[in-house]
């Protein structure tokens, strides 16, 4: 599935339109009994979800509408995503913050209770093990969500370091929230629709903030965040209430918020200039190279204290040799691994994600180029199927973000 969610969804749409349902089933649908299913699996199938294997799970790539239409509807009205394949966990104990700060680049100690941030788990060479949204619930409780495809390695990494930390007297424990399911509600109607299902005033919950509250009769973890560039929420709900909550959200929206699959989720995050781990960020890419310098807290820049800090702090001082940038290009959409050349035909980098933007009606992509050639307006050539296509380095996000922040 590396870099192929949008493309796979388009392939499915074309084949279904041509009546080639057997080929789609052979190539794309989950037939492996080992695939895990979220609590919404039957709900997806009943609503026309086209299920595909993703990170060991059977997940909807799209529903009855096209990926193009789903993307536009999210920006105009709203989308409900099943993201229960991702892994939520809690770290607790008086040393939970100091423990986590050994593994991530964020200034966790500086977060006010009930607030969070995007961060990166790093390795000894400064590379990214995974990116994660972390929330300081209290000074002794951290809630975080890690990517589905990274779950096993992330949990092994955390557990290994936790054992060593506790052996030295550190007070920290963890709980993996496999008893809960995770929904993402995104788009301009997300807040007004969700407000119908809770007595808490959502207008006082801003981007990056977290609350434990009652939604549709269930105690939920609510974070005002998302992966689309739109205002919205990630809702952790007890698994036995997941389907009821999904039904209630769709019902309260009067059909305007739609179930949305991984295909549109990929095009939405690309338009928002957000990284997909495994494509735009990997074990050999540092947060500085990935354009996430802002995520390194001021105190962490001064003190270090996280894995790979020597490499990362040196890049902060000297600058990285490569940088993640956005592109707009002509010809067919750029794909992951497409070569990037300067105007003289010299290799300067590689595309990591690309596709056709449903909102902008043009090709967009992101990738890495040599430092010095990363400035907006720099002309490049992107090689697709052996042919050079005109491109230009462009600032991200491609589509303006609409995060709900204090005015």
Would the annotation count 282 as a binding residue?
no
Per the CB < 8 A criterion, the answer to whether 261 and 70 are in contact is yes
CA dist 320 to 291, 300, 315, Å?
10, 18, 5
- In DSSP terms, 78 is beta-bridged to 257
Per the CB < 8 A criterion, the answer to whether 231 and 209 are in contact is no
What secondary structure does DSSP assign to 89-150, as a single string? EEEESTTHHHHHTTTBSS-GGGSPTTEEEEEEEE-TTS-EEEEEEEEEEETTEEEEEE-GGG
Task: List, edge to edge, every strand of the sheet that includes 36-37.
Answer: 36-37, 57-62, 50-54
Burial, 255: exposed, middle or buried (Cβ in 10 Å; 0-12, 13-18, 19+)? exposed
Query: Could you give the maximum distance between any two Cα atoms of the chain, in Å?
Result: 63
CA dist 407 to 72, 207, 209, 377, 401, Å?
26, 12, 15, 31, 15
Binding positions for substrate: 234
Binding positions: 234
């Amino acid at each position: 599935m590396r870099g192929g969610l949008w493309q796979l969804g388009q392939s499915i749409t074309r084949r279904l339109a041509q009546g080639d349902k057997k080929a789609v089933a052979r190539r794309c649908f989950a037939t492996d009994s080992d695939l895990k299913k979220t609590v919404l699996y039957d709900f997806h199938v009943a609503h026309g979800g086209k299920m595909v294997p993703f990170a060991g799970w059977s997940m909807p790539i799209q529903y009855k509408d096209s990926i193009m239409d789903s993307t536009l509807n999210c920006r105009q009205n709203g989308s409900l995503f099943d993201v229960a394949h991702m892994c939520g966990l809690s770290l607790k104990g008086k040393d939970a913050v100091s423990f986590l700060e050994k593994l991530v680049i964020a200034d966790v100690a500086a977060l006010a209770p009930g607030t969070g941030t995007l961060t990166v788990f790093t390795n000894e060479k400064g590379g990214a093990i995974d990116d994660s949204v972390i929330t300081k619930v209290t000074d002794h409780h951290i809630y975080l969500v890690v990517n589905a495809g990274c779950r096993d390695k992330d949990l092994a990494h955390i557990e290994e370091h936790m054992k060593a930390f506790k052996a030295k007297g550190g007070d920290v424990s963890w709980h993996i929230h496999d008893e809960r399911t995770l929904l993402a509600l995104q788009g301009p109607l997300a807040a007004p629709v969700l407000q119908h299902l809770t007595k808490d005033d959502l207008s006082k919950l801003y981007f990056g903030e977290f609350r434990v509250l009652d939604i549709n009769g269930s105690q939920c973890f609510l974070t005002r965040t998302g992966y689309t560039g739109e205002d919205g929420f990630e809702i952790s709900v007890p698994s036995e209430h997941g389907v009821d909550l999904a039904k209630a959200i769709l019902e309260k929206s009067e059909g305007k918020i739609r179930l949305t699959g991984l295909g549109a989720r990929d095009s939405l995050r690309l338009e928002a200039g957000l990284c997909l781990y495994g494509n735009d960020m990997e074990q050999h890419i540092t947060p500085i190279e990935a354009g996430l310098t802002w995520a390194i807290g001021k105190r962490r820049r001064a003190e270090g204290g996280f894995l790979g800090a020597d490499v990362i702090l040196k890049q902060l001082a000297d600058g990285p040799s490569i940088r993640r940038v956005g592109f707009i290009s002509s010809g067919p959409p750029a794909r992951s691994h497409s070569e990037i050349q300067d105007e003289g035909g010299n290799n300067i980098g590689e595309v990591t994600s690309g596709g056709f933007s449903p909102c902008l009606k043009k090709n967009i992509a992101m990738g890495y180029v040599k430092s010095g050639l990363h400035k907006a307006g720099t002309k490049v050539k992107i090689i697709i199927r052996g042919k050079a296509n005109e491109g230009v380095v462009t600032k991200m996000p491609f589509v303006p973000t609409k995060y709900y922040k204090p005015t």
